[in-house]
A and B are shown apart, each in its own frame.
Chain A
Amino acid sequence: MAAAQDGDRSALDSLLRRHYDRWWRLSRRLTGNDADAQDALQEALILIARNIGRFDGRSAFTTWSYRVVSNACLDELRRRARRPQLDGWGPGGPGDAGAPATSSHLVADGGFAGGAAIDPRVEGLGDRIEVDAALARLPYEFRVAVVLRDLCDLDYAEIARILDIPPGTVRSRIARGRGQLADLLGNPAAEPDRPTTSP
């Protein structure tokens, strides 16, 4: 870390590689599809690389980097929201536009129908698509809190620092987000609640 801050390129390379997978997972779950996840993560990596020398160490590197990645994802989602979509399966994919995408939806569209043997790479895809679609329907505040907790295994205090909100708000958002996610996964037609404006 210190070497990277001092301008050591190979040290930065090692640092980025060490954290890449967890940043990818966060980005992938927040954006809901590979293409947007790659765009967001690319932005985040560049920001981290450019600003590593200015990172003051007042927070942990992971906290700082998760914050950069989650903000890059939010920026990417905003960009996506500005782009008109031809249908519910545009660049945002199944996680986009709150489309009621399910594996049965895919089959109905002919995606996986036909009774052919399932490619191992495809196995589990339908389930992941449902999770993406359900996460996409959560308000972003809930989604990011749930993903930081349940995917990244961060505790409430660290999530609070990343999102710059009180730990009590983190706890509440995680609980409400989890509840809504469970309801959506159990019943895709359910309507998620909206967060209140005050923490």
Chain B
Amino acid sequence: MTYDDDRTELASALLDGTLPEEAAAAARRDPAVMARLAQLEQARDRVRDLPPAPIEARDAMLAAALDAFDTAPAESPVSDLDARRRARGQRGQAPRWLGAAAAVALVLAGVGVVAILGQRSGDQDNQASLSAADEATEAGGSGDDTSASADAEAGAAAPEVQDAPTTAATRAAPAQLGELGSFATATDLVARVRDDPLLYQALSEEADTALSGPGAATTQAACASGDLPSVLQDQANAVVALGSATVDGKAVSVWVADTPSGRRVVLVDSDCRTVANRSLE
């Protein structure tokens, strides 16, 4: 630790009033520490200077949260450490195809990450910071509280993809759209997918498949064995992007595929039912 670090630590502790009286008195006699204290105070005051929350957004956000409350599933994400461990154990007993799906998804995610990293320029600092935060969250994520990440972990929104190559033509590794967020309706989600910049890149690639398309939306269970959604179970279709989202409080996986009738987005719920099948064009 350098002298500057020591000075900053002392100034920070002074600011918070956590130094013992004697040490605080000694620190106050050091002009360098007091100068640093003034800098930290100024920075703190600037962090505190925020405009009030936008009122117009607040009511809509609260309404969406209350809707989620009304439709909360019987089995909510777990909220304590033991329960989380139990949940992990139960996940460990999942069918073997789920493990294979995870492995394929990891490979596809890796390809997606490499592709994205190749496209991005700059921002190395922020990326490094987020990566470090990822590690910290994963390493320290065993607390007793529910987190957004924990919710995503507990959710059933991950698309099952391991059988994709055998049931539909995947032109290349599908783009990973990740978690797309929460939407009131499937229409809102489709609009979001349509505007996704990552998907836009996928769309800009040459579409070279001319194939026969899926049928209309169906509620038939399709992925009990890890297959593609039933509407995409055709060699003619090519999955171009995968993601997950929440629609009207329900987790869905998001499949984007090239079909003979054009590019379509298919939403599949956690019971493997196709809940929407919309054109993206």
Residues 33-56 of A, flagged 1 when their CB comes within 8 A of B and 0 if not, give 010001101111111111111111
A16 to B53, CA, bound (A): 14
A51 lies within 8 A of B53 (CB): no
Nearest residue in B to A79 (C-beta to C-beta)?
Answer: B178
A67 lies within 8 A of B12 (CB): no
A45 lies within 8 A of B65 (CB): yes
B46 lies within 8 A of A127 (CB): yes
> Mostly helix, strand, loop or mixed at chain A's interface?
helix
Most buried by A among B15, B66, B122: B66
Residues 190-205 of B, flagged 1 when their CB comes within 8 A of A and 0 if not, give 0000001110010000
B20-28, B68-76, B164-172, B266-274 - the one binding chain A: B68-76
B122 lies within 8 A of A98 (CB): yes
A140 lies within 8 A of B123 (CB): no
**Those of A60-114 within 8 Å (CB) of chain B:** 63-64, 67-68, 71-72, 74-75, 77-79, 81-85, 88, 96-98
Number of residues from B at the complex interface, CB < 8 A: 84
A13-B66, A47-B146, A151-B47 known; A54+B182 contact, CB < 8 A: no
B143 lies within 8 A of A51 (CB): no
B50 lies within 8 A of A128 (CB): yes
A25-B50, A50-B69, A150-B44 known; A194+B132 contact, CB < 8 A: yes
* A residues near B11, Cβ cutoff 8 Å: 175
B64 lies within 8 A of A45 (CB): yes
A77 lies within 8 A of B130 (CB): yes
* B residues near A172, Cβ cutoff 8 Å: 9
Q: Of B61, B126, B144, which one neighbours A41 at CB under 8 angstroms? A: B61
Q: Of B51, B58, B198, which one neighbours A20 at CB under 8 angstroms? A: B58
Question: Does B29 interact with chain A (Cβ within 8 Å)?
Answer: no
A175 lies within 8 A of B53 (CB): no
Nearest residue in A to B182 (C-beta to C-beta)?
Answer: A46
* A residues near B187, Cβ cutoff 8 Å: none
A180 to chain B, nearest CB (A): 9
Nearest residue in B to A161 (C-beta to C-beta)?
Answer: B143
B134-142, B222-230, B233-241, B255-263 - the one binding chain A: B134-142
B202 to chain A, nearest CB (A): 11
Nearest residue in B to A69 (C-beta to C-beta)?
Answer: B148
A116 to chain B, nearest CB (A): 21
Question: Does A3 interact with chain B (Cβ within 8 Å)?
Answer: no
* B residues near A64, Cβ cutoff 8 Å: 145-146
A36 to chain B, nearest CB (A): 11
A58 to chain B, nearest CB (A): 5
B266 to chain A, nearest CB (A): 21
A54-B76, A182-B40 known; A98+B66 contact, CB < 8 A: no
A49 lies within 8 A of B69 (CB): yes
B143 lies within 8 A of A164 (CB): yes
A174 lies within 8 A of B69 (CB): no
* B residues near A98, Cβ cutoff 8 Å: 122-126
A163 to B50, CA, bound (A): 23
A106 to B13, CA, bound (A): 36
B40 lies within 8 A of A179 (CB): yes
**Those of A133-186 within 8 Å (CB) of chain B:** 135-141, 146-147, 149-151, 156, 161, 163-165, 171-172, 174-176, 178-179, 181-182, 185-186
B77-85, B97-105, B206-214 - the one binding chain A: B77-85
B48 lies within 8 A of A150 (CB): yes
**Those of A112-132 within 8 Å (CB) of chain B:** 124, 127-128, 130-131
A97-B126, A185-B43 known; A178+B65 contact, CB < 8 A: no
* B residues near A156, Cβ cutoff 8 Å: 16, 18
A182 to B41, CA, bound (A): 9
Smallest CB-CB A-B distances: 10 pairs? A140-B133, A175-B12, A45-B65, A71-B147, A179-B8, A24-B53, A49-B69, A72-B148, A97-B123, A164-B143
A–B Cβ pairs within 8 angstroms, 13 of them: A17-B62, A48-B65, A50-B68, A51-B146, A71-B137, A84-B197, A96-B126, A98-B126, A141-B133, A175-B8, A179-B12, A182-B40, A185-B46
> Beyond A9-B66, A54-B77, A140-B133: 20 further Cβ-contacts under 8 Å?
A12-B69, A38-B57, A46-B65, A47-B151, A49-B69, A52-B69, A54-B146, A63-B145, A64-B145, A75-B152, A81-B123, A98-B124, A135-B47, A137-B125, A139-B128, A140-B136, A147-B47, A164-B140, A171-B13, A194-B129
